[in-house]
Amino acid sequence: MTASAPAPDRARTLAVAGLLLGITLAALESSVIATAMPTVIRELGGQHLYALPFAVYLLTSTITSPLWGRASDLLGRKRLYLAGIIIFLLGSMLCGVAGSMTALIAARALQGIGAGSVQTLTFTLVGEMFTLEQRARVQGFFSGVWGIAGLVGPLVGGLIVDHASWRWVFYLNLPFGIPAVLLALRYLPSTRPQREGRAQIDWLGALLFTLGSGLLIWGLEFKLWWLALLSVGVLAGALWVESRHPSPLLPMKNLRAVLPRVGVLGNLLAGAAYFGTIAYLPLFAQGVSGQGATAAGVILTPMLLGWTGTSILAARLIGRLGTTRLTLWGFNILVVAFVLFAVLAHAPLWVISAVGFVAGSGMGFSMFTLLLAVQQATAKADLGAVTSAILFSRQMGGAVGTALMGTLIGEAAISSGGGALASGLQRAFVLALVLVVVAWVLAQTLRKVPALGGTGAQSAD
């Protein structure tokens, strides 16, 4: 297969600018709506539907990401990236004009479908356009923007709601998203589909996988355990179908190799520990330390700063130290962080915040370099599927971890707060520690993988 010619520096810079605008929109959207929702509920009603705008966005963005990734391998990445961001903007516009909670929920579902494309195909396109060292710098910058957007999102949402209307939380995507579309349309390189012949999409496997993933996220989100159990059977059926298809949604043959397997399972386990902890740390600030809502938000800042900072640092170190060493550093740091969480669950707020910074640092080193390593070792024909599988596993891990940790904490402890809540959080932190220890053990197998060079190009078919 003939690789696409490298884009001139200026064109490639403008293409990256378009991708950067797109990923910024997706990052802001994941945090900014939380600030607006109380006002939305007051205006549109439907208090009993409060959780659904969050849940359906998470559901559709998560379960469609592998679909976008594999489809980009078969149909070409540029056209599907453009389709995804246009769907995201259309969903944003419909959210802004929504006259009822039902309409808002439907528009959020559409918006999530587009978001599944934006994040997955952004990192896939960067993996295709750049060599390892170049990609490390570019993706480090993207990680920094994602982290900053996560920090400022709630503030931006609050300012918009206070001084304009909650509808502008969604309308604001349009003046930024339209330039992103135009830049991508003009400057993203047009690549041929990465597989020869007629595209063969595994529709049955895709249907079963989407249904199973949706049932799992929905069941965990609303603690419908029978639904989560049913999802396991559906997903098992999807894997059976996938294993027999020439172009499966999940890259089954790739996952037999050490590096992609560690990439998927490591993201699943670490994602469960990290995002589950993020979901319940604000409870520590309010229910254990007795602080207000501001402190509940501030306690998450060190975790986000740690992830952002070490992603940028890893981008600078990867050429000298290699992906394997940095990934193992990250998992070592994660184990230390969750040992401290488990031991210090009754500690003061500032101590927990400091431990959060350590946990975020471990995620920055491990997740950032692991994605780069897997992309470097993957043929272009499977790059979209492998990248989306890793990002999907991290998101799915977050959903699973949040549900399991909530069960361990218990509704009674959450309601009563104080020492009972601290003890419940300690049980949850022990679970998180077990998960990252398993991920650490898996990561040790990377020592058997030949070192990846820092200057070589992406492996090709």
What percentage of the chain carries pLDDT values higher than 70? Answer: 89
CB-CB contact of 260 with 254 (8 Å): yes
Question: Which two structure tokens, joined as six digits, stand for 388?
Answer: 């989306």
Rounded Cα distance, 362 and 330, in Å? 4
Report if residue 167 sits inside a domain: yes
* Number of separate domains in the chain: 3
Residues 394 and 280 in one domain: yes
Residues 93 and 150 in one domain: yes
Report if residue 128 sits inside a domain: yes
Report if residue 2 sits inside a domain: no
Report if residue 194 sits inside a domain: no
- pLDDT at residue 459, as a whole number: 36
Report if residue 454 sits inside a domain: no
3-state helix, strand, coil in the chain (%, to 5): 80, 0, 20
Residues 149 and 237 in one domain: no
Contacts of 73 (CB under 8 A, 6+ apart): 193, 194, 195, 247, 381, 382, 383, 384, 385
Please compute, for residue 389, the number of CA atoms within 13 A of its CA located in the half-sphere on the CB side. 28
Closest CA to 80 of 176, 199, 193, 1: 193
Closest CA to 245 of 201, 297, 209: 201
Question: Band of the pLDDT at 300, cuts 50, 70, 90?
Answer: confident
Rounded Cα distance, 429 and 340, in Å? 9
Residues 309 and 394 in one domain: yes
Report if residue 459 sits inside a domain: no
Residue 312 sits in a domain whose CATH number is 1.20.1250.20
CB-CB contact of 77 with 189 (8 Å): no
Helix spans in 188-257 (H):
203-221, 225-242
Give tens-digit pLDDT for 339-348.
Answer: 999 998 888 8
pLDDT, mean of residues 187-210:
73
Range of the domain at 234: 202-246
Residues 285 and 234 in one domain: no
Rounded Cα distance, 111 and 388, in Å? 18
For residue 45, CA distances in Å to 40, 49, 128, 164 come to 8, 9, 46, 19
- pLDDT at residue 5, as a whole number: 43
- pLDDT at residue 329, as a whole number: 95
Closest CA to 271 of 113, 142, 399: 399
Q: Which of 13-17, 91-95, 150-154, 394-398 has the lowest mean pLDDT?
A: 150-154
- pLDDT at residue 30, as a whole number: 67
pLDDT at 180 over 80: yes
10 Å Cβ neighbour count for 381?
18
Give tens-digit pLDDT for 202-246.
Answer: 788 888 988 988 888 788 777 788 998 999 999 999 889 888 887
Mean pLDDT of the chain: 83
Residues 319 and 361 in one domain: yes
Give tens-digit pLDDT for 362-418.
Answer: 999 999 899 988 988 888 878 888 888 898 899 888 888 888 888 888 878 877 777
- For 250, counting Cβ atoms within 10 Å of its Cβ (0-12 exposed, 13-18 middle, 19+ buried), the class is buried
Residues 235 and 272 in one domain: no
CB-CB contact of 376 with 452 (8 Å): yes
Residues 61 and 131 in one domain: yes
pLDDT at 454 over 70: no
Residues 29 and 147 in one domain: yes
For residue 439, CA distances in Å to 216, 436, 447 come to 22, 5, 14
Look up residue 452 and give its DSSP letter. P
Residues 227 and 331 in one domain: no
What percentage of the chain carries pLDDT values higher than 90? Answer: 29
Residues 16 and 129 in one domain: yes
- pLDDT at residue 453, as a whole number: 45
Contacts of 250 (CB under 8 A, 6+ apart): 66, 70, 209, 239, 242, 385, 389
Report if residue 4 sits inside a domain: no
pLDDT, mean of residues 33-54:
76
Comparing 31 with 158, the larger pLDDT belongs to 158
Q: Note the pTM of the prediction, 2 decimals.
A: 0.80
Secondary structure (DSSP) of 249-288:
SS-TTGGGSHHHHHHHHHHHHHHHHHHHHHHHHHHIIIII
Report if residue 1 sits inside a domain: no
- pLDDT at residue 290, as a whole number: 66
Residues 428 and 339 in one domain: yes
